[in-house]
Amino acid sequence: MTTTETGTSAEAGQPQGLSRLTLNNAFSSGLGEMIEQAQASVVQVRRGDRGAGTGVIWQENGGIITNHHVIAHTGSRTLVELRDGQVFEAQIVDSDPILDVALLKVPANNLAAIAVADSSKLRVGELVFAIGHPWGQRGVVTAGIVSALSKVQIRNSNRQLEYIKSDVRLAPGNSGGPLLNALGEVIGINAMIMGGDLSVAIPSSTVSKWIAQLPRTRITLGVQIQSIELPPNVRSESAKDQSLGLLVVGIIAGGLAEQAKLLVGDVLIDIENTALSDATTLRAVLAQSSSKDSVQLHVLRGGKVQEIKVLLHPRKQAA
């Protein structure tokens, strides 16, 4: 009778124990497969000697999303390394310093584009994972939960920025990498660490909307630029009292700027008599000039203002 009771007790407990073990194994195995699949869509973005960040293959035809700050203000080539070791020189299709996103394009097709989820359905407490290259270590994975969903009003604007805050661990090199849900779908692009403990990501819905509004075809100058204060004499004499111009910090090989013999160190003052103080204005005037054969630039070079004619060609370059 005792043996029967012991056996019955063991038999009663055994399925329960096996059930927990099976569930744990299934979860671990599924999680590993999910991460492995997502890893194929994660790339390293390098820019000269300024270190490296992370990017996500968003489009199978070579479209890659990263942070604006990963590729900003560099005169060096932007290189993208895939997980299999292939390295491509990337063109900067467009970037938004306020959203802190950038779209790159590499000359490759049939890439492993990541699955994108609707971040507007995300809830506080959900399990999330980050993949990136902190301190140059490739494909590091960290996990956490969504801590808060925040909105920030942009100063002097009607525009609001949305952020996902989580306790996934990030470090330099993670910027531009994906924040994944438990299904392995990207719900954010990791951007920064806030307050020393919370990580901040740009929602995937924000990124998708930004990409959707980009023009399908556009003319770009083929320069990397940053705003700079103009000398007082230029403000008063040649620049209609404007205080800022655009310093050329990089020239894209084969672009319109190279063909027009623009130089690193030139300061763009105006284009078609429209003052230039930000990249948005430059892009807008180029778009409006798409039917023209050329545009005129006023450029500060060696302390003197020069007029440079830029021939327009219907090709995509970085600007």
Per-residue pLDDT, 291? 64
Per-residue pLDDT, 35? 93
Note whether 197 and 243 are same-domain residues.
no
Is 185 within the bounds of a domain?
A: yes
Q: For the chain (length 319 residues), average pLDDT per consecutive 10?
A: 42 56 70 92 85 91 94 77 93 88 92 93 95 92 95 73 94 95 95 82 94 74 87 66 86 87 93 84 77 86 91 54
Note whether 146 and 192 are same-domain residues.
yes
Residue 153 sits in which domain range?
119-212
Stated length of the chain:
319
For the chain, the domain total comes to 2
Is 170 within the bounds of a domain?
A: yes
Per-residue pLDDT, 315? 45
Is 108 within the bounds of a domain?
A: no
Note whether 208 and 238 are same-domain residues.
no
Is 286 within the bounds of a domain?
A: yes
What is the Cα–Cα distance from 168 to 154, expressed in whole angstroms?
Answer: 26
Tell me which H or E stretch contains 280.
helix 279-288
| Beta-strand pair 78-81/42-47 | antiparallel
Is 49 within the bounds of a domain?
A: no
Note whether 189 and 227 are same-domain residues.
no
CATH number of 187's domain: 2.40.10.10
CATH number of 302's domain: 2.30.42.10
- Catalytic site includes residue 298: no
Domain end position, chosen among 165, 180, 212: 212
Note whether 281 and 236 are same-domain residues.
yes
Single out the catalytic residue among 41, 68, 94, 100.
Answer: 100
- Catalytic site includes residue 69: yes
Domain end position, chosen among 169, 193, 212: 212
Is 206 within the bounds of a domain?
A: yes
Residue 126, C-beta contacts closer than 8 angstroms, at least 6 positions apart: 145, 146, 181, 182
Single out the catalytic residue among 175, 204, 205, 277.
Answer: 175
Note whether 237 and 207 are same-domain residues.
no
- Catalytic site includes residue 278: no
Residue 205, C-beta contacts closer than 8 angstroms, at least 6 positions apart: 118, 119, 120, 162
Note whether 192 and 247 are same-domain residues.
no
Per-residue pLDDT, 316? 41
Is 56 within the bounds of a domain?
A: no
Note whether 204 and 124 are same-domain residues.
yes
Provide the 3-class DSSP secondary structure of residue 311.
strand
Is 104 within the bounds of a domain?
A: no
Note whether 172 and 228 are same-domain residues.
no
